[in-house]
Structure 1
Amino acid sequence: MTIREMQEVLDAKFLYGQELADLDVQFVFSADMMSDVLAYCGQCSVLITGLCNPQVVRTAEMLDICCIIFVRGKMPDEHMLALAKGKSIAVLATEHFMFTTCGILYENGLRGGA
């Protein structure tokens, strides 16, 4: 599934990284605790979270995650978007809750990265 396809099925908004929309991803991981992401996130390309602080982008960078999806309508500030831009990490936001977001993506063929 591409990032663009995820954006469409989640009715999400691109906040940064539309030029990365055609990247293909196979695995996702969802968590609000970045320590869990660091400990358990295996081969994932997408991080789904409701945590909205710069550590999310820094964690994604460490794990070579190419896309962050913020749930529950969370919106990162300009500093976070600048960090993501500097690391070429796509950023999307959806109004769905995390459970629903994961379910929609799973239903469309994506699997967990752990």
Structure 2
Amino acid sequence: MKLKEIVNLLDAEVLCGREKLDYEVNFAFGSDLMSDVLSLVNKDTILLTGLTNIQAVRTAEMMDIKCIIYVRGKRPDEQVIKLAQEKDICLISTKHILFNTCGILYVNGLKGAEINKCTMNI
């Protein structure tokens, strides 16, 4: 699914990275715990979160995540947006809650990302 389709499905606003809207993604992962995000296995994954601080962008950079979607209408500050621009990460904001955002994307064909169970505290 292309990011521009996701923007339309979620009635979302692109905060930065509009040039990446043709980027194709296959998986989504929703979490406010960046330590959980570090356990992702799949490439071509988007991150859905309510966490608007700089750590979300730093984590996305480490995991080669090209897009962060902020839920519940949240928006990061200018420092976070600037870092995302520098790291070539698209930032999007939707008014949907995390649960509904995941559901909308799932029903429209996006799969949930897999995690590396070896890195999780089970």
Q: Same fold (TM over 0.5)?
A: yes
Aligned to 2:49: 49
Task: Measure the CA separation in 1 of the matches of 2:27 and 2:109.
Answer: 9
| CA displacement at 1:42 relative to structure 2 | 1.9
How far apart, in 2, do the equivalents of 1:87 and 1:113 lie?
Answer: 22
- Alignment deviations for residues 41-91 of structure 1 (CA, whole Å, 9 cap, x no partner): 221420000111000000000000000000001110000001100010000
Q: Distance in 2 between matches of 1:52 and 1:66?
A: 16
Identity of aligned residues (%): 52
Partner of 2:25: 25
One-letter code aligned to 2:54: P
Q: What secondary structure does 2:38 align onto?
A: helix
Quick one: distance in 2 between partners of 1:51 and 1:96? Answer: 14
Q: In the TM superposition, what are the counterparts of 1:10-89 in structure 2 within 5 Å?
A: 10-39=10-39, 41-44=40-43, 45-89=45-89
TM-score of the aligned structures, taking structure 1 as reference length: 0.97
RMSD of Structure 2 on Structure 1 (CA):
0.7
Count of residue correspondences: 113
Gaps of 5+ in 1: none
Q: Which moved more, 1:44-53 or 1:2-11?
A: 44-53
In 1, Cα distance between the equivalents of 2:15 and 2:7?
A: 11
Q: Please report how far the alpha carbon of residue 113 of structure 1 lies from its aligned counterpart in structure 2 after TM superposition.
A: 1.1
Letter aligned with residue 112 of structure 1: G
Q: What residue identity is the alignment partner of 1:67?
A: C
Larger radius of gyration: 2
| Letter matched to residue 94 of structure 2 | T
Helix, strand or coil: the match of 2:64? Answer: coil
Q: Which residue of 1 aligns with 2:118?
A: none
The CA distance in 2 between the partners of 1:34 and 1:72, in whole Å, is: 18
> In the TM superposition, what are the counterparts of 1:83-98 in structure 2 within 5 Å?
83-98=83-98
Cα distance between partner residues in 1 of 2:97 and 2:21: 22
Q: TM-score, normalised by structure 2?
A: 0.91
